[in-house]
C-alpha cells in the first residue's frame, strides 16, 4: 500500500480521539434540547456552558463574549454584515485587505452592492499588510477594519497588535478572521484590542460545522440568524451540542499543548523548507520567512503547474493543495499569490504543504524525496524549462 502523508492541515484536520470521546455521549444518551427545563435539557445546557468557558479562556475573553456558529465562514459573515448594518448611521466604510479568505472578501463585495464602501489594503511581497496605508485609509465614515490574523495560503501573520491599537485609537471596530491562527498562536483579545474574532473547530482537530465568533462586550452588532432565543437571542437555532462539546475539548487541548505543538511544527516546517531549497532549483518560498504559521510551507516551483504537481503527489499518497487556477476551475490563480506580486505563471506553480500534529520527520523526508522526482519529471515535460536549459547552456 502507498504510504499516506496528509499535508493539508490548513484545509482541515482529523478529529482527535479525546475530542471524539468527549462528543460521543451527546449524540445518543445526552441528546436533550438545552432550551428544555427538564434534567436532560439542563445537562446539555451545562455542557454548552463548559465548552463556552473553554473557548473563552483560550483567547482570554469572557464566556458571555463567545457565540457559537456553524463555522468560520458564518462567523466572518456575521461579524462583517452584523457590524455594517448595525452601524450604518455612523458610517458606510469598511477596510480589509486583498488577501482575506473569500468568506470576508465576498461578504465585503456583497456589502458594496448594498451601498457600503470597501478599501482593500495592499500587502508587501511577504503578505504583510501596509500599516501606513491602513492609517491613511481611515475616515470619519469608517466603521470596521477586518484583517485576518494569519493567512490560510501563505501563512503570514499580521501585526495584529498594531492594527488593534490603530482601530481602538480611531474608534473603529476591529474584526479578525483567526481561523488559521487559533490553536497555532497564543491570542489575548484584550491585549490585542480585538473587538470581533472568528474561529473554527475543524482547523484544530475538532469537528466540522462548528465555530464561534468572539464579540467584545459592548460592541454594537446585529443578530445574524433570527428565530430563537439561543446564544442570547443573537444566533437562533438549536445548538449543535456534540459540535460545541468537541470544539471546547479541541481548543482546550490545543492550548494545553501549544508550546510543544509549535516547537514540533516549526522544526518540521523548517526542515521541509530547507529540504526543498537544498534539493530543487528555481523555487520561491511564499509568505513571510519568519513571521508565519508554524505548520505552513508554501513554495512556487517555476516552469510547472500546480495541479499536475498535486496529482503526482497524490499518486504517492501525499495530500496537499495549490493556488493554481486549474485546481479551482477558474482561469486566475490565487488572489493571495497575485497580491504578493507573483506573476501569473509563478502563481500557477504554487504548492501549499501544511503540517499538523500527526506528521513526523519521516513524512518530511518522504515528501522531499518524492517532490524532487516529481518536479524534475514535470520540468522535463515543460517547454518553459527547455528554454531555461538552453539559456544556461548558451
Per the annotation, the verdict on 326 as an active-site residue is yes
Backbone angles phi, psi at 354, to 5 degrees: -120, 120
The crossing angle, in degrees rounded to 10, of helices 258-279 and 241-256 is 80
321 - beta bridge partners? 352
Concatenated DSSP letters of 155-168: -BBP-HHHHHHHHH
Distance in angstroms between the alpha carbons of the first and the last residue of the chain: 45
Give residues 333-352 in contact with another protein (rule: CB under 8 A).
Answer: 333, 343-345, 348
Among the options 225, 326, 338, 368, which is catalytic? 326
- Which residue's CB is nearer to another protein, number 157 or number 283? 283
Q: Give one word for 293, left, alpha or beta, with left for phi > 0 and alpha for psi -120 to 50.
A: beta
**Interface with another protein includes 329 (CB under 8 A)?**
yes
Residue 374 CB, nearest approach to another protein (Å):
11
Residues 362-381 that bind another protein (CB under 8 A): 380-381
User: In the set 1, 2, 331, 392, which binds another protein (CB under 8 A)?
Assistant: 331
Closest distance of CB 381 from another protein, Å = 5
Nearer to another protein, 160 or 378 (CB): 378
Alpha-helix runs per DSSP H in 59-192: 72-86, 102-113, 131-137, 160-169
Q: Which string of x and - marks every residue 289-328 that binds another protein (by CB under 8 A)?
A: --------------xxxxxx--xx--x--------xxxx-
Smallest distance from another protein to CB 302, Å: 10
- Order across the sheet with 283-285: list the strands: 283-285, 296-301, 350-354
Q: How do 283-285 and 211-215 pair as beta strands?
A: unpaired
Report, in Å, the least distance between residue 258 CB and another protein: 37
Q: Does 287 bind another protein (CB under 8 A)?
A: no
> Which residues are identified as catalytic?
326
**Interface with another protein (CB under 8 A):** 303-308, 311-312, 315, 324-327, 329, 331, 333, 343-345, 348, 380-386
Amino acid at each position: 500500500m502507498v504510504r499516506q502523508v496528509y499535508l493539508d492541515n490548513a484545509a482541515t484536520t482529523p478529529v482527535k480521539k479525546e475530542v471524539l470521546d468527549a462528543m460521543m455521549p451527546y449524540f445518543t444518551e445526552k441528546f436533550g434540547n438545552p432550551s428544555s427545563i427538564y434534567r436532560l435539557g439542563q445537562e446539555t445546557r451545562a455542557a454548552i456552558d463548559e465548552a463556552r468557558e473553554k473557548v473563552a479562556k483560550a483567547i482570554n475573553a469572557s464566556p458571555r463574549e463567545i457565540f457559537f456558529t456553524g463555522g468560520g465562514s458564518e462567523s466572518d459573515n456575521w461579524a462583517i454584515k452584523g457590524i455594517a448594518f448595525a452601524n450604518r448611521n455612523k458610517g458606510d466604510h469598511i477596510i480589509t485587505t486583498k488577501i482575506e479568505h473569500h468568506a470576508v472578501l465576498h461578504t465585503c463585495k456583497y456589502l458594496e452592492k448594498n451601498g457600503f464602501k470597501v478599501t482593500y489594503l495592499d500587502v508587501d511581497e511577504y503578505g504583510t499588510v501596509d500599516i501606513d496605508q491602513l492609517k491613511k485609509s481611515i475616515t470619519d465614515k469608517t466603521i470596521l477594519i477586518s484583517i485576518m490574523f494569519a493567512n490560510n495560503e501563505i501563512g503570514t501573520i499580521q501585526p495584529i497588535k498594531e492594527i488593534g491599537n490603530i482601530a481602538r485609537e480611531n474608534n473603529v471596530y476591529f474584526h479578525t478572521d483567526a481561523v488559521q491562527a487559533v490553536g497555532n498562536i497564543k491570542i489575548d483579545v484584550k491585549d490585542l484590542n480585538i473587538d470581533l474574532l472568528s474561529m473554527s473547530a475543524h482547523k484544530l482537530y475538532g469537528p466540522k460545522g462548528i465555530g464561534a465568533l468572539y464579540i467584545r462586550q459592548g460592541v454594537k452588532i446585529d443578530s445574524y440568524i433570527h428565530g430563537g432565543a439561543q446564544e442570547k437571542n443573537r444566533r437562533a437555532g438549536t445548538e449543535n451540542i456534540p459540535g460545541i462539546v468537541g470544539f471546547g475539548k479541541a481548543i482546550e487541548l490545543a492550548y494545553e499543548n501549544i508550546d510543544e505543538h509549535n516547537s514540533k511544527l516549526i522544526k518540521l516546517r523548517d526542515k521541509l523548507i530547507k529540504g526543498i531549497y537544498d534539493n530543487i532549483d528555481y523555487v520561491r518560498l511564499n509568505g513571510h520567512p519568519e513571521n508565519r504559521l508554524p505548520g505552513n510551507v508554501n513554495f512556487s516551483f517555476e516552469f510547472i503547474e500546480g495541479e499536475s504537481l498535486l496529482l503526482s503527489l497524490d499518486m504517492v499518497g501525499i495530500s496537499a493543495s495549490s493556488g493554481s487556477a486549474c485546481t479551482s476551475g477558474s482561469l486566475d490563480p490565487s488572489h493571495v499569490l497575485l497580491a504578493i506580486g507573483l506573476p501569473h505563471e509563478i502563481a500557477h506553480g504554487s504548492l501549499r504543504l501544511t503540517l499538523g500534529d500527526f506528521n513526523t520527520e519521516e513524512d518530511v523526508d518522504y515528501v522531499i524525496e518524492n517532490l524532487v522526482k516529481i518536479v524534475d519529471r514535470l520540468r522535463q515535460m515543460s517547454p518553459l524549462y527547455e528554454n531555461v536549459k538552453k539559456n544556461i547552456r548558451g
